[in-house]
Amino acid sequence: MAPSHVLKCCQKVLAWVPVAFIALVVAWSYYAYVVELCVFTISSTAEKVVYLVVFHLSFVMFVWSYGKTIFTSPATPSNEFCLSKADKEQYEKEERPESQQEILRRAAKDLPIYTTTASRAIRYCDRCQLIKPDRCHHCSACDVCVLKMDHHCPWVNNCVGFSNYKFFLLFLMYSLLYCLFVAATVLQYFIKFWTNELPDTHAKFHVLFLFFVAAMFFISILSLFSYHCWLVGKNRSTIGEKGIFDCLTGELSSFDVSTETFRAPTFRNGPDKNGFSLGCSKNLREVFGDEKKYWLLPIFTSLGDGCNFPTRLVTMDPEQLTVSSQNEPAKSSGANQSFPTRPLSESQNRLLAGDCQWVESGPEEESVKSGSLDCKYF
């Protein structure tokens, strides 16, 4: 027990090494730019003032968003997704997967769940002992189920998910602008030192190295930021993109590989990568909120509660499901499970309110019978 406890403590300490490395690089860049460049190298007072004002603005926003990404705890599922004591005991006693799934289906019938595993089973976390909400995954590094988990990032020593995804995007954007500004303003003095137009001083090393570091980080962050901008526009997550993020950055995402790691989220109609996409503008609002004046500030403004999300793929009415199940034999034990039994509530469907209505009867009856409810935009 003791060696295991010591090992866990060592792992927790080592997990902060990448964060400490970034902090040291940022602290050195601040010293190199403010002291060595602006104080000792630049002779023009006006140029110094302009550079220092813009530099400190980008520096503050960068550090603020980075800190929020690190210290914002991952959001976890609410208690309604936990099994009751009786269901939990019954689930643990059952040995047959079919019987366990029946218990889960009964517990999940009133939950706003729209996705399943690839085998059409209800997604359940044995570690946390709860039914996973849509887009929720278990992180082995944090040892919790994280709402709308994107990935576990070692550079922030935290899971990036519903509670801090906006902060993570702003961190990438401001770090990109920070590196771009530093590299652009240092370039002329880098050339002057390189060509010996300026005398050799103690500032030379700092200025030369500062340009290389800023340019290197800018190039690496640019690809990552571009990729996440594409994900936001499509309303997808890193987990659902077949590990592309890991290939680009070398990061290892710690999550349950049995779900979205190598496949798109599975709805009743089958896998669909665009199942949660509501269009680019609504996808942006889902992450950044309704009020654009807060979009560039690292304060939480994301819509919803992280447990359920608006989706353009809404399963059929339970009564229609019963009729169709009588006409067609079940292909598998989980193929005709009757969840969810209701569309998203008005409070959890803000992105669709006002410009979308659920059609459950009338002229669209034919589309209902085909297995889905239409979501129309006006």
Among the listed residues 153, 159, 179, 307, the single catalytic one is 153
Under 8 Å CB-to-CB from 293, ≥6 apart: which residues?
Answer: none
Where does the pLDDT of residue 204 fall: very low under 50, low under 70, confident under 90, or very high at 90 and above? very high
Active site includes 153? Answer: yes
DSSP-derived pairing of the beta strands 356-358 and 375-377: antiparallel
Inter-residue contact 124 to 108 (CB < 8 Å): no
Question: d(Cα 314, Cα 338) in Å, to the nearest integer?
Answer: 13
Where does the pLDDT of residue 332 fall: very low under 50, low under 70, confident under 90, or very high at 90 and above? very low
In three-state form (DSSP H/G/I as H, E/B as E, the rest C), the secondary structure along 261-322 is: CCCCCEECCEECCCCCCCCHHHHHHHHHCCCHHHCCCCCCCCCCCCCCCCCCCEECCHHHHH
What is the tens place of the pLDDT at every residue in 104-147? 999 999 899 999 998 899 999 999 999 999 999 999 999 999 99
What is the tens place of the pLDDT at every residue in 42-72? 999 999 999 999 999 999 999 999 999 999 9
Distances (CA, A) of 192 to 38, 218, 280: 15, 22, 45
Where does the pLDDT of residue 2 fall: very low under 50, low under 70, confident under 90, or very high at 90 and above? low
Q: 87 exposed, middle or buried (CB, 10 Å; 0-12, 13-18, 19+)?
A: middle
pLDDT at 254: 39
What is the tens place of the pLDDT at every residue in 140-176? 999 999 999 999 999 999 999 999 999 999 999 999 9
Distances (CA, A) of 319 to 52, 204, 324, 331, 372: 66, 76, 9, 19, 13
Token pair of 356 as six digits: 């979308």
| Locus of tokens 């008005």 | 346
Distances (CA, A) of 307 to 89, 111, 352: 25, 10, 16
What is the tens place of the pLDDT at every residue in 28-47? 999 999 999 999 999 999 99
Where does the pLDDT of residue 312 fall: very low under 50, low under 70, confident under 90, or very high at 90 and above? confident
| Locus of tokens 């603020």 | 64
Inter-residue contact 132 to 124 (CB < 8 Å): yes
Q: What is the mean pLDDT of the chain?
A: 81
Gyration radius from the chain CA atoms: 25
pLDDT at 239: 84
Where does the pLDDT of residue 242 fall: very low under 50, low under 70, confident under 90, or very high at 90 and above? very low
∠ CA(269), CA(272), CA(275), 5° rounding? 95
Question: Between 151 and 323, where is the model more confident?
Answer: 151
